[in-house]
Chain A
Amino acid sequence: MMKFDAVKIGDTLGPQEIYLSKDQVRTYARTCGMDVPRFTDDAAARAEGLPGMIAPGNMSLGMLSRLVTDWIGSSGARLARLGTTYRQPVQPDHTITLNGFVTHVEPAEKRVDIDVWIENEDAERLVIGTASVEFP
């Protein structure tokens, strides 16, 4: 089980490669009550000027959240904050990679700050963000 004292700046989260299918994106959007064409239909998304169907921002946030909580594991730590910036649409039918690095360790608060991002096959960073994890 991971302990706070063992966490070091530069520790990595991932990389986790995920093939994101259109069915997964449609299912997520509908389950979350976001059943709008840009998340479910290529032609309708293109009519809005998008390159095709895109994943909802919340879905990207959720995947990055899972990257961090997978890293937390059973340590008893908690994901206290996750903030993201959306740079380019995340498109289904592509393999995306989730990455993270520990960038700061704050012993006084037993807090760890982490950079996280999603990139596509061309190493373009589609979504970037930072997370804070608090240890017991």
Chain B
Amino acid sequence: MATILDLHSHSEASEDSRAPLEAYLNWIKLRHHERPVDGIVLTEHRQFNAGADYRALEDKFGLMVLKASEVETDYGHVLVFGVTGEMTRRFDFANVRLSAQELIDEVARMGGLAVPCHPGRPNVGLCEHYGAKPPLNNVVAVEVLNGGSRKGEDARSMELVRRYGYRAVGGSDSHLVSLIALCATRFEAEVRSIDGLVRELKEGKYEPVDFRPKRKPVPAAVPDEVSHNGG
């Protein structure tokens, strides 16, 4: 049975998010016909809440809530799946200059997976860093669909995947309730836990999926000078 998960989301535990987890889950239930995800992964910025238990909310809404983290490295932002106590002792997740290569290698050795996110984004994405530094080793997958992407960012991420042969995932990167699950990842296999998610990301079959609504085009604006001259 296939599983669809939003692999990248931020609840109000992240300093720049305004979204309570319960409101996320309620929104998904209401919009399930548009965004048919089975659950979300909370990837709070620079932190991991090992003690958080979301089972009551999972039961209430019939949706899965998994925990991961988004950390900051010398090659941009990276999602860390399968976080363990050993990892949080080895790395200070609050450090915004973590070594990406060390993170990728050590997280894999400890049983997890580090996935660079929004690689096409300026400053915080892999593409820009690859223009100035050697490519990273042992990258398995990168996020090619990001719900917060600006024009051209997802295309740059896709080009990176084609060039380096990485696997591709999607996530909403939601910081507002109504933006949850706009992008996600469809796994061929059933995923029911963070361990299962890491296993599938490493070895399974999956693809990014895009649930962003198709927008009607907004007419191009007429510059001041033209409108003044032309009336």
Take A121-B221, A122-B150, A124-B151 as given contacts and tell me if A104 and B177 are in contact as well, using a CB distance cutoff of 8 Å: yes
Distance of B19 from chain A, by nearest CB (Å): 8
What is the bound-complex CA distance between A28 and B16, given in angstroms?
27
B residues 172-227 with Cβ under 8 Å of A? 175-179, 215, 217-224, 227
Does A94 have its Cβ within 8 Å of any Cβ on chain B?
yes
Whether the Cβ atoms of B221 and A130 lie closer than 8 Å is no
Whether the Cβ atoms of B218 and A95 lie closer than 8 Å is yes
What is the bound-complex CA distance between A125 and B31, given in angstroms?
20
Distance of A129 from chain B, by nearest CB (Å): 7
Interface string of A78-109 (1 = CB under 8 A from B): 00000101011000111101000101100000
Does A17 have its Cβ within 8 Å of any Cβ on chain B?
yes
Whether the Cβ atoms of B221 and A10 lie closer than 8 Å is no
Interface class of chain B by DSSP: loop
Whether the Cβ atoms of B16 and A21 lie closer than 8 Å is no
Does B94 have its Cβ within 8 Å of any Cβ on chain A?
no
Chain B residues contacting A55 (CB-CB under 8 Å) are none
Q: Which of the residues B31, B178, B227 comes within 8 Å of A115, measured between beta carbons? A: B178
Does B1 have its Cβ within 8 Å of any Cβ on chain A?
no
Q: Which of the residues A22, A93, A97, A104 comes within 8 Å of B218, measured between beta carbons? A: A97
Whether the Cβ atoms of B221 and A124 lie closer than 8 Å is no
Take A85-B16, A129-B18 as given contacts and tell me if A23 and B26 are in contact as well, using a CB distance cutoff of 8 Å: no
Interface class of chain A by DSSP: strand
Take A101-B178, A122-B150 as given contacts and tell me if A93 and B224 are in contact as well, using a CB distance cutoff of 8 Å: yes
Across the interface, name the chain A residue whose C-beta is closest to B152.
A122
Whether the Cβ atoms of B175 and A85 lie closer than 8 Å is yes
Does A39 have its Cβ within 8 Å of any Cβ on chain B?
no
Whether the Cβ atoms of A121 and B218 lie closer than 8 Å is yes
Does B148 have its Cβ within 8 Å of any Cβ on chain A?
yes
Whether the Cβ atoms of B177 and A93 lie closer than 8 Å is no
Does B166 have its Cβ within 8 Å of any Cβ on chain A?
no
What is the bound-complex CA distance between A87 and B221, given in angstroms?
21
Whether the Cβ atoms of B151 and A122 lie closer than 8 Å is yes
What is the bound-complex CA distance between A121 and B219, given in angstroms?
8
Binding site for A on B (CB under 8 A): 16, 18, 20, 23, 26-27, 30-31, 148, 150-151, 175-179, 215, 217-224, 227
What are 16 sample pairs from A and B whose C-beta atoms fall under 8 A apart? Answer: A9-B26, A9-B30, A19-B222, A20-B221, A83-B18, A85-B18, A93-B221, A101-B177, A103-B177, A121-B220, A121-B221, A122-B150, A123-B215, A128-B18, A128-B176, A130-B176
